[in-house]
């Protein structure tokens, strides 16, 4: 199994959604949750993601799952190898500067 390929495709199978829209959808099905609490946890997970906090396996954390379970990637939370129409917060995918990240990976590969 090619781990590099899994890593690269990891954030691509998600359906992007804004925090507000996700909260609305989530509250429709989970009426025991309060909006304030859910928003707080989503923002905390998103901040952890932006700080570069990773799952213990080395993958980027899945913000939505991390807000509900704990800070971990999609695979570690669900046991599925890749997302299939699962939601991820748009900011957790769009905001990352790709050139910086690529340079970082290049330096890591040389060591
Ligand atoms: Zn993981």
pTM above 0.75, yes or no: no
Q: State the distance from the centre of ligand 1 to the C-alpha of 58, rounded, in angstroms.
A: 6
Q: State the distance from the centre of ligand 1 to the C-alpha of 79, rounded, in angstroms.
A: 9
Instruction: Give residue limits of the domains in the chain.
Output: 3-110
Q: State the distance from the centre of ligand 1 to the C-alpha of 6, rounded, in angstroms.
A: 11
Q: What is the pLDDT of residue 10?
A: 52
Q: What is the pLDDT of residue 8?
A: 42
**pLDDT in tens for each of the 111 residues of the chain?**
444 444 444 566 899 999 999 999 999 988 888 999 999 999 999 999 999 999 999 999 999 999 999 999 999 999 998 888 899 999 998 644 555 555 555 555 554
Q: State the distance from the centre of ligand 1 to the C-alpha of 60, rounded, in angstroms.
A: 8
Q: What is the pLDDT of residue 13?
A: 82
Which residues keep their CB under 5 angstroms from ion ligand 1? 55, 57, 59, 73, 76
Rounded Cα distance between 104 and 102, Å, is: 5
* Rounded alpha-carbon distances, angstroms, from residue 31 to 20, 23, 26, 34, 35: 16, 11, 8, 8, 10
Q: What is the pLDDT of residue 4?
A: 43
Q: What is the pLDDT of residue 82?
A: 85
Q: State the distance from the centre of ligand 1 to the C-alpha of 29, rounded, in angstroms.
A: 26
Q: What is the pLDDT of residue 93?
A: 82
Q: State the distance from the centre of ligand 1 to the C-alpha of 109, rounded, in angstroms.
A: 20
Q: Are 60 and 48 in contact (CB under 8 A)?
A: no
Q: Are 17 and 87 in contact (CB under 8 A)?
A: yes
């Amino acid at each position: 199994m090619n781990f590099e390929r899994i890593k690269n495709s990891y954030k691509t199978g998600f359906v992007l959604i804004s925090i507000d829209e996700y909260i609305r959808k989530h509250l429709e099905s989970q009426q025991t949750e309060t909006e304030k609490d859910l928003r707080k946890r989503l923002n905390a997970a998103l901040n952890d993601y932006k700080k570069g906090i990773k799952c213990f396996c080395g993958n980027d954390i899945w913000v939505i799952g991390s807000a509900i379970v704990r800070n971990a990637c999609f695979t570690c939370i669900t046991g599925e190898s890749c997302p299939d129409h699962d939601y991820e917060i748009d900011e957790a995918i769009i905001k990352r500067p790709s050139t910086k990240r690529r340079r970082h990976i290049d330096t890591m590969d040389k060591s």
